[in-house]
Amino acid sequence: MSQLPDIIDLTNDKDTDQPTESSKKMKAIGNFIRQKAANIGIPNDKPFYVEQLAASAALENTSVILCNKDTLLYNSRFNDRGWACGYRNCQMLLSSLMSMDQGMSRFGQIPGNGNVPSIAELQQMLELAWQEGYDRDGAAQLNYRVVGTHKWIGATEAYCILAHLGIRSQIVDFHHPTMADGTHPALFEWIAEYYTNGEIENLASNTAPNVRFTNRHPLYLQHQGHSRTVVGVELGDSGTNILLFDPDIAIAHSEDSPAKLKLFRLQLGATRRADQYQVLYPLPVDQAEIPKLISSLRIP
């Protein structure tokens, strides 16, 4: 593991409001196939809690370890699907931080009376972070302007938003596959260790023994042109699956019919889709100054 002086921007975006035609087509095809395969029914764009996964996870013959149960999961909506995944993932991470009262004194700059910020508010925060000197190179790429635009953001911009709020975070860079078949087992191992080392939260009496919620926050997972949120891991005889939420994939859920765990699974073979992955996670509250030049931990 080594530390880099800077980090590669995986958003594949410059000073433009729209993604390329080819990327939009690929995303549309992926969404169509995933929704057909999953048979997810009627989508619901209202946010829901990670805790809702417990009912479905209890039916599995595996060990399921999840992030903070009060994390809110945000689907993209019709008017922001295809460009706002980075902002939706920021909302999920902030919902966890706010629910656990981590550094609440540092959340005085969040507009909306303590509610999770909207996309428009996150855009304002990002521009303020740039004005404060965070990630000057990234800011220049986007011409120091995102408010009112459809420009994509990635892990480096999420870092800046958190920094503006006084929250220090770390980016981990899995910069190439670690198996000859193009997969990323090092990524899976790191995420599994992150969650299995988390402190177990007090559970309700009706929680199944194979399901554990921890004090860990969700992870911001970035690869070329897209980002998602990791909410936990699933450990079984056949190996480890990452459990992640894609804000661009509408998932049916309700109080009577909770979201299904199978829709969150990512198997190792699926990591062949990208050569490089980045994970962003918040660090414990401390008094250290937040670096304005973003660096990453490089694995391997």
Q: Regarding beta strands 211-213 and 63-66, do their DSSP bridges make them parallel or antiparallel, or are they unpaired?
A: parallel
Q: Of 135, 246, 248, 253, which is the active-site residue?
A: 246
Q: Cα separations (Å) of 175 from 70, 99, 209, 230, 233?
A: 31, 32, 36, 18, 21
Please indicate whether residue 246 is annotated as part of the active site: yes
DSSP 18: S
Which residues does 188 contact at the CB level (< 8 Å), separation at least 6? 240, 242, 268, 271
Q: What count of other Cβ atoms lies within 10 Å of the Cβ of residue 127?
A: 18
Burial level of 212, CB count in 10 A (0-12/13-18/19+)?
Answer: buried
Q: How far apart are CA 250 and CA 81, in angstroms?
A: 10
Q: Of 90, 226, 248, 253, which is the active-site residue?
A: 226
For residue 160, which of 129, 184, 186, 182 has the smallest C-alpha distance?
129
Q: Regarding beta strands 239-245 and 211-213, do their DSSP bridges make them parallel or antiparallel, or are they unpaired?
A: unpaired
Three-state DSSP class for residue 129? helix
Amino acid at the residue 31: N
The beta-strand segments (E) located in 36-168 are: 48-49, 63-66, 72-73
Three-state DSSP class for residue 256? coil
Q: How far apart are CA 2 and CA 74, in angstroms?
A: 33
Q: Of 13, 67, 85, 217, which is the active-site residue?
A: 85
Which residues does 85 contact at the CB level (< 8 Å), separation at least 6? 76, 152, 226, 227, 228, 246, 247, 248
Active-site amino acid positions: 85, 226, 246
